[in-house]
Chains A and B, each alone.
Chain A
């Protein structure tokens, strides 16, 4: 029982970290929208 709860909490925590990454992406959005001229150097 404990194992199921712990495994689920690990999955949920990393899932929430994914949501947090999404929020960070929104926070830097103005830069992400800048025009891109050249591909990777």
Chain B
């Protein structure tokens, strides 16, 4: 570990903390329909969209109608993206004459991007045309992020409102999120990335002659525009197969830092937006501090583990010490321009958020690091998370925490002025149970059937970790891959699509039900018996609940994979 590496972690946390309040305030104003800097410019566009779509912006929806709109929007998005992928051979902007995407792969990709997962069983530059990348993938990156933010805004309204039937209008929230939040930030980010060397062109791939006379095809395309929303949306699906490890997606250490910032900024700002909307900013800061503690612990562990190097190399007298000539540590699968710190930090950011972009190969990380990345996803990615899903996941854990606290002292639990009763607890458990049930169930199947084992690139615990990582990443809507596993087969395409569908849709419905249930309640005044949720006791309790509920659910599964591999590596018995 070097001072420069530790400074990178500290700088990222500091810049995020500085951005959280202004961006959180902006989000709160946008979703309240208040005047913002961009309103005079974009309001005519917003009004035109409502008129074209037949949406009455003043007409709010109860939770059930809000959920129905969400489901309809996702169903139409899945069908539209599936059609684009299947028809890409007949669509324009296909300079490489790429054929239609196979049906099972098209289904997997459509579900993946509509659910904000961006699991990629394909290589971007060799499978998708520019039309599929722009009109399919990029469009869904915007819409899936906007709908995720809409869901958490609806949940926040549930906490903020008193005796209300409605939680907002889904169509209005998606439109505002896309127009006022995602598009402006992406426009600036795309210009920055293009200036830093990321291509933005509709020109076809370039054929180059190498120094020894060989022929090389260099893929390019409208990368900068897709890269911006790929990061901001928590989507993470790369234009190229190598994702952010490719120099055309992430050319310099500066773009690497900016990309991490883009991944985290909206998720962090939503905590402040939550605090402002419930008129208790401190509650939002508590959530951000919990996220920061978990993030720093994870980033520190991954950085420490990778800096220490691979113990198996000691037998070969490989020098893994950092010096002015070499970065030291475990550099397998990492880009020299990012080094250990830049790669470890990006891997932590990518899995703590729901983004799933990668700037190093996670399969080449040491088992301890791989275990940390898995743990980030297994706690439902509440460590900042994707825009929307991270915060609603954290709020579900808050509900469980006050419920357990209430049981201990024999009082009806309350959270930010709302009583947490049986309906809210039922819905919270329903929402929290889906992901582990899906992950563990599908892993068990994949580990015993021939099509599941056929995709493995490694035997033993590492091979098992590849399957564990794939299903965890899919169900947690992360989308990063451990690599090593050949997932482009009908078995994996279909089962991973199922995991992504469950991890997104079946979790969001009960979240909206909680929003509706809470909105109908009055606000309970704070009394001496109220468990304070804006102090250190709640913070510690929440951390413990996340670790116990999130972590212990998967302990046996982790023990069979990264844990056993870690100890085998230390004992010198890993083969």
How close is B545's CB to chain A, nearest CB, in angstroms? 22
Decide: A25 near B421, CB < 8 A? Known: A17-B509, A39-B164. Answer: no
How close is A36's CB to chain B, nearest CB, in angstroms? 6
Contact in complex: A2, B103 (CB < 8 Å): yes
* Binding-face segment, B46-54, B71-79, B280-288, B363-371: B71-79
Closest B residue to A4 using CB positions? B103
Please measure, in the bound complex, the distance between the C-alpha atom of A31 and the C-alpha atom of B520, giving whole angstroms.
8
How close is B196's CB to chain A, nearest CB, in angstroms? 39
Please measure, in the bound complex, the distance between the C-alpha atom of A10 and the C-alpha atom of B79, giving whole angstroms.
7
Decide: A27 near B426, CB < 8 A? Known: A10-B75, A10-B79, A17-B71. Answer: yes
Contact in complex: B510, A24 (CB < 8 Å): yes
Residue in B68, B501, B520 whose beta carbon sits within 8 Å of that of A32 in the complex: B520
Interface size on B, residues (CB 8 A): 40
- Report chain B residues within 8 Å CB of A34: 520-521
Contact in complex: B82, A38 (CB < 8 Å): no
- Report chain B residues within 8 Å CB of A39: 164-165
Contact in complex: A28, B517 (CB < 8 Å): yes
Which chain B residues in 60-85 approach chain A with CB under 8 Å? 60, 64, 67-68, 71-72, 74-75, 78-79, 82
Contact code string A1-32 (vs B, CB < 8 Å = 1, else 0): 01100110011011001101100110110111
Closest B residue to A10 using CB positions? B78
Residue in B60, B72, B75, B427 whose beta carbon sits within 8 Å of that of A40 in the complex: B60
- Report chain A residues within 8 Å CB of B423: 27-28, 30-31
Contact in complex: A6, B103 (CB < 8 Å): yes
Decide: A17 near B163, CB < 8 A? Known: A31-B517, A32-B517. Answer: no
How close is B119's CB to chain A, nearest CB, in angstroms? 17
Contact in complex: B427, A41 (CB < 8 Å): no
Which chain B residues in 144-182 approach chain A with CB under 8 Å? 161-166
Contact in complex: B164, A41 (CB < 8 Å): yes
Residue in A3, A32, A38 whose beta carbon sits within 8 Å of that of B103 in the complex: A3
Which chain B residues in 404-444 approach chain A with CB under 8 Å? 421-424, 426-427, 430
Please measure, in the bound complex, the distance between the C-alpha atom of A6 and the C-alpha atom of B75, giving whole angstroms.
12
Decide: A3 near B86, CB < 8 A? Known: A18-B71, A28-B426. Answer: yes
Contact in complex: A28, B513 (CB < 8 Å): yes
Please measure, in the bound complex, the distance between the C-alpha atom of A36 and the C-alpha atom of B520, giving whole angstroms.
7
Decide: A31 near B421, CB < 8 A? Known: A6-B82, A17-B505, A24-B513. Answer: yes
How close is B485's CB to chain A, nearest CB, in angstroms? 23
Contact in complex: B166, A40 (CB < 8 Å): yes
B107 sits at the interface (CB 8 A): yes
Contact in complex: B64, A25 (CB < 8 Å): yes
Please measure, in the bound complex, the distance between the C-alpha atom of A2 and the C-alpha atom of B478, giving whole angstroms.
28
Interface size on A, residues (CB 8 A): 26
Contact in complex: B165, A40 (CB < 8 Å): yes
Contact in complex: B517, A40 (CB < 8 Å): no
- Report chain A residues within 8 Å CB of B75: 10-11, 14
B342 sits at the interface (CB 8 A): no
Residue in A6, A30, A31, A41 whose beta carbon sits within 8 Å of that of B162 in the complex: A41
- Report chain B residues within 8 Å CB of A7: 79, 82
Contact in complex: A40, B164 (CB < 8 Å): yes
- Report chain A residues within 8 Å CB of B505: 14, 17
B24 sits at the interface (CB 8 A): no
Contact in complex: A32, B427 (CB < 8 Å): no
Please measure, in the bound complex, the distance between the C-alpha atom of A2 and the C-alpha atom of B575, giving whole angstroms.
42
How close is B426's CB to chain A, nearest CB, in angstroms? 5
- Report chain B residues within 8 Å CB of A17: 71, 505-506, 509
Contact in complex: B509, A21 (CB < 8 Å): yes
How close is B1's CB to chain A, nearest CB, in angstroms? 46
- Among A13, A36, A37, A39: residue with most chain B CB under 10 A: A13
Please measure, in the bound complex, the distance between the C-alpha atom of A22 and the C-alpha atom of B509, giving whole angstroms.
10
How close is A25's CB to chain B, nearest CB, in angstroms? 5
How close is B517's CB to chain A, nearest CB, in angstroms? 5
How close is A11's CB to chain B, nearest CB, in angstroms? 7
Please measure, in the bound complex, the distance between the C-alpha atom of A41 and the C-alpha atom of B430, giving whole angstroms.
29
Please measure, in the bound complex, the distance between the C-alpha atom of A40 and the C-alpha atom of B510, giving whole angstroms.
21
Closest B residue to A35 using CB positions? B163
B516 sits at the interface (CB 8 A): yes
Contact in complex: A24, B71 (CB < 8 Å): no
How close is B435's CB to chain A, nearest CB, in angstroms? 15
Contact code string B105-119 (vs A, CB < 8 Å = 1, else 0): 011001000000000
Decide: A37 near B163, CB < 8 A? Known: A2-B103, A17-B509. Answer: yes
Contact in complex: A20, B506 (CB < 8 Å): yes
Decide: A13 near B161, CB < 8 A? Known: A21-B71, A24-B430, A28-B426. Answer: no
Decide: A18 near B68, CB < 8 A? Known: A10-B79, A27-B426. Answer: yes
Q: What residues of chain B have their CB less than 8 Å away from a CB belonging to chain A?
A: 60, 64, 67-68, 71-72, 74-75, 78-79, 82, 86, 103-104, 106-107, 110, 161-166, 421-424, 426-427, 430, 501, 505-506, 509-510, 513, 516-517, 520-521
**What would be 14 A-B contacts, judged by CB atoms less than 8 Å apart?**
A2-B104, A6-B106, A10-B78, A10-B107, A14-B72, A17-B506, A20-B506, A20-B509, A21-B67, A21-B68, A28-B427, A28-B513, A36-B165, A40-B161
